[in-house]
Copies of this chain bind each other. A is one copy, B any other.
Amino acid sequence: MLRDEYDVSGQWQTTQTQGPAGSSLPAGDAVLRPGAHAAPAAEGKAGRRAWHWERWLVRRLWQWAGSPPVAVKLFGGHSVTPPAKEAVPAIHIKDRPALWKLFVDPLFQFGELYMHGRLETEGDLADVLERVFRGLEKRFHPGRMGWRWLLQPVNTLTRSRANAAHHYDLGNDFYRKWLDDQMVYTCAYFPRPGMTIEEAQVAKMEHVCRKLRLAPGMTVLEAGCGWGALALHMARHYGVHVTAYNVSREQIAFARERARREGLADRVTFVDDDWRNMRGSFDRFVSVGMLEHVGPPNYRLLGKVVACCLKSNGLGLIHSIGRNYAAPVNAWIRKYIFPGGYAPSLREMTAIFEPFNFSILDVENIRLHYAETLQHWRKRFEKVWDEVVQQFGETFARMWRFYLCCSQAAFQTGGLQLFQVVFAHGSNNSIPQTREDIYRRAALTADKARSASEQGVDA
């Protein structure tokens, strides 16, 4: 009997049931109660039951993962339930090779096996991942990336375009299915409870515009404009002229078409090019959700480009996923979701600012808003599940669900952060005196958000 740190007074339960051969699990909210018999999930064949020492290894793996309050159900009907006072959800490993893959490389294989249906969860996937991440959090301690950068390819011009194509050129139709009507694919902002994702995305764009202190006639440079929602919002509601860069052809085409349709083509120029090629002189610089694709080896270059393009009395804003400390991106995410992606710590982000004497004026961390955003996306995604399966196959759909759930869990448990950084040239004294103006007319903004969301063209 193995006692462990999770609950020293409790004891492990290993249960075994006989069920119909090859039964697949319901995707419901079934949970295992400690000590209770597992739901029928056995393979039926005695020869395919997990061996005693495999169950021992499962318990070791569970401890290595920081003893999360999660049970493990194995092929052949065995359940390994940790000592816990409450009911716990379960991870179901459906065959022996899957179990061994998990032993060898758990952080990669969890996603891989889920994607191929060889690992299931009983209980909500995001909830299970949240429990696992909280455990891992105890286990892994802040370190530095140091030499690990040598193992990761640098995002060159060509690679950046390929990386963007991998993710963003899946087809606008796919994203339209589960994003808000303006197709904003970055963290939303929920200043009030119960907001819809449409409202929250408009609130985010407003929040960014207010932080930038936009005024009519200003010129704005945007790096990584997605489907163009922010650029169009700024032009429409603040009367500014926007030049927006993006390397995703699908997104640029969509954005240009929308600008034309909405009569904003004269005020917004969408450029199909990399941020490295940005030129000109602008009153404002903004980048929402692009830094994740830049990679730390390029931060200094990004700072240099921005330093050249931002007028001496200008303001800049970078909105990016980040971390509390430097750590590599999960291998599964890098392989399937964001090749070349990286979430920097604030320390790493300073490489953009410090070499060019930028003043960091304001940093806001809104990670819990991203957890909420992902919950909204997930809900919408589940609604169009069948369509996605039909169009892209079940493996793709499961991959995407896993990505949404594990991102949500990471923001919820603090594994990922969301930073909005406002900055200016070090010698710029026409900087905002306080931040009161951002919040002054909060009620007004809420109205604006609602009306803008109602105007949403794709609704």
Contacts and interface: CB of A to CB of B under 8 A. Distances in A.
Interface of A: 134, 137, 141-142, 189-191, 324-326, 345-347, 350, 353-369, 412-414, 417, 419, 426-429, 431, 433-436, 438-440, 442
Given A134-B427, A346-B360, A363-B362, A190 B433 contact: yes
A369 B432 CA distance: 11
Given A324-B354, A412-B429, A427-B137, A360 B365 contact: yes
Given A324-B359, A440-B439, A414 B427 contact: yes
A364 B365 contact: no
B353 A324 contact: yes
Nearest to A360: B346
A324 B429 contact: no
A412 B355 CA distance: 20
Contacts of A359: 324, 365, 367, 414, 417
Given A345-B350, A350-B350, 8 more contacts: A189-B434, A324-B359, A324-B426, A325-B354, A346-B354, A347-B350, A359-B367, A439-B439
A357 B325 contact: yes
Which of A141, A355, A414, A419 has the largest count of B CB atoms less than 10 A from its CB? A414
A355 B137 contact: no
A362 B365 contact: yes
A84 B433 CA distance: 31
Contacts of A345: 350, 354
A451 to B, nearest CB: 20
A249 B365 CA distance: 38
B350 A346 contact: yes
What is the count of identical protomers in the complex?
A: 2
Contact of A436 (B191, B357, B412): B191
Contacts of A442: 436, 440
Contacts of A366: 434
B346 A326 contact: no
A310 to B, nearest CB: 15
B434 A357 contact: no
A368 B431 contact: yes
Contact of A354 (B347, B426, B434, B438): B347
Contacts of A360: 324, 346, 363, 365, 417, 419
A137 B426 contact: yes
A146 to B, nearest CB: 13
A428 B427 CA distance: 37
A268 B347 CA distance: 35
Contact of A361 (B350, B365, B429, B433): B365
A324 B357 contact: yes
Contact of A364 (B353, B414, B429, B435): B435
Contacts of A354: 142, 324-326, 345-347
Contacts of A440: 439, 442
Contacts of A324: 353-354, 357-360, 426
A356 B325 CA distance: 9
26 contacts: A134-B427, A137-B357, A137-B426, A142-B354, A142-B356, A142-B357, A189-B434, A191-B434, A324-B360, A325-B354, A325-B357, A326-B354, A345-B350, A346-B346, A346-B360, A357-B414, A359-B365, A359-B414, A360-B419, A361-B365, A364-B435, A368-B429, A369-B433, A414-B428, A414-B429, A440-B442
- The 7 lowest CB-CB distance pairs between A and B, nearest first, are A363-B363, A347-B350, A325-B354, A439-B439, A414-B426, A361-B365, A324-B426
A302 to B, nearest CB: 15
Contacts of A412: 429
Contacts of A364: 361-362, 435
Contacts of A427: 134, 137, 413-414
A197 B428 CA distance: 25
A235 to B, nearest CB: 26
Contacts of A367: 359
Contacts of A190: 433
Contacts of A428: 414
Given A346-B346, A346-B360, A439-B435, A325 B142 contact: no
A191 B137 CA distance: 40
A74 to B, nearest CB: 30
